[in-house]
């Protein structure tokens, strides 16, 4: 298997676009066929690996995990010094710390928009923060407001099985699986924020641990 970092490999980006017509990763490709890595079930089937999902967390368990992740993301955003907030997360990628903090919560907001009928498109969660969202406190307040919307959404559900089918760029998908994906996706970015704080020699306020992520299909690596 060959791993291609399309962010730093122009030839890899060209191959992804010209051969497969794709602009989003992760993608697993073999010959002319490919599978998106956004959902693990089809990805595992394509790779010939055991199918995940037998022990998938229930929607109620995912909601509890996501509440924990949202709270952690708000704490971490507030810890970044103002003079560091516009630095890159890691040197060889353009994403700023400010953008990554915002992205933790924008992922969840995008799920709510999809639940209300929008398509979970390739770029729906990739917005840059509004220009007036300049500090960690600003981003944390945004995260708190998004979570208030989640609480209202959860209270208002007549059926919490999340069996509704949602439109996504990787195909029509049961909401339970999409909710699982956004939960671990935000969680992965919280792991990255922890690493950035530690690199700055700032002790994360209540660092999440592997036990906190138990039951979620978290990536093994932090950045790739």
Summarize pLDDT for 55-88 with one digit per residue, the tens: 799 999 999 999 999 999 999 999 999 999 999 9
Q: Does 4 have pLDDT greater than 90?
A: no
> With bands split at pLDDT 50, 70 and 90, how would you rate the model's confidence at 39?
low
More confident residue, 8 or 84: 84
Q: For residues 216 and 53, which has the higher predicted lDDT (pLDDT)?
A: 216
3-state DSSP helix/strand/coil percent for the chain, to nearest 5? Answer: 50, 5, 45
- Looking at 7-16, 94-103, 104-113, 182-191, which range is the least confident one? 7-16
Maximum alpha-carbon separation in the chain: 49
Q: Where are the domains of the chain?
A: 10-47, 59-199
Predicted pLDDT of residue 122:
83
Residue 212 and residue 69: Cα distance in Å, rounded?
A: 9
pLDDT of 208 reads: 98
Report yes or no: 67 and 79 within 8 Å, Cβ to Cβ: no
pTM as predicted: 0.80
Q: What pLDDT, on the 0 to 100 scale, is given for residue 92?
A: 84
- Least confident span in 18-27, 69-78, 89-98, 186-195: 18-27
Mean pLDDT of 37-62: 68
CATH for 59-199, options being 1.20.120.450, 2.40.70.10, 3.40.50.10420, 1.10.10.10: 1.20.120.450
b/e per residue, 103-134, with b = 16+ CB within 10 A? bbbbbbbbbebbbeeeebeeebbeeebeeebe
pLDDT value at 148 more than 70: yes
Residues shown for the chain? 224
**For residue 159, pLDDT beyond 80:** yes
The pLDDT of residue 133 is 96
**pLDDT for 50 beyond 80:** no
* Average pLDDT score, the chain: 87
Confidence label for 163 from pLDDT (cuts 50, 70 and 90): very high
**Number of neighbouring beta carbons within 10 Å of residue 76:** 29
Q: Is the pLDDT of residue 126 over 60?
A: yes
- Weakest-pLDDT range from 6-10, 78-82, 164-168: 6-10
Helix (H), strand (E) at residue 165: strand 165-166
When pLDDT is averaged across residues 46-51 and rounded to a whole number, the result is: 59
User: Alpha-carbon distance 140 to 86, whole Å?
Assistant: 15
3-class DSSP state for residue 88?
A: strand
């Amino acid at each position: 298997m060959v791993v291609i970092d399309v962010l730093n490999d122009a030839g890899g980006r060209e191959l992804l676009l010209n051969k497969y017509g794709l602009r989003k990763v992760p993608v697993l490709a073999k010959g002319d066929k490919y599978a998106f890595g956004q959902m693990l079930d089809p990805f595992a089937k394509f790779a010939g690996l055991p199918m995940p999902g037998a022990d998938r967390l229930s929607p109620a368990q995912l909601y509890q995990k996501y509440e924990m992740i949202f709270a952690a993301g708000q704490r971490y955003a507030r810890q970044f010094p103002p003079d560091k907030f516009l630095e890159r997360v890691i040197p060889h990628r353009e994403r700023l710390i400010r953008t990554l903090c915002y992205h933790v919560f924008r992922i969840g907001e995008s799920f709510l928009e999809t639940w209300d009928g929008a398509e979970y498109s390739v770029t729906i969660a990739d917005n840059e923060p509004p220009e007036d969202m300049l500090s960690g406190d600003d981003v944390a307040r945004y995260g708190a407001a998004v979570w208030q919307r989640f609480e209202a959404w959860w209270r208002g559900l007549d059926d919490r099985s999340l069996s509704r089918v949602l439109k996504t760029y990787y195909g029509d998908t049961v909401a339970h699986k999409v909710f699982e994906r956004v939960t671990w996706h935000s969680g992965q970015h919280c792991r990255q924020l922890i690493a950035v704080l530690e690199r700055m020699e700032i002790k994360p306020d209540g660092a999440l641990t592997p036990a906190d992520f138990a039951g979620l299909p978290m990536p093994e690596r932090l950045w790739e």
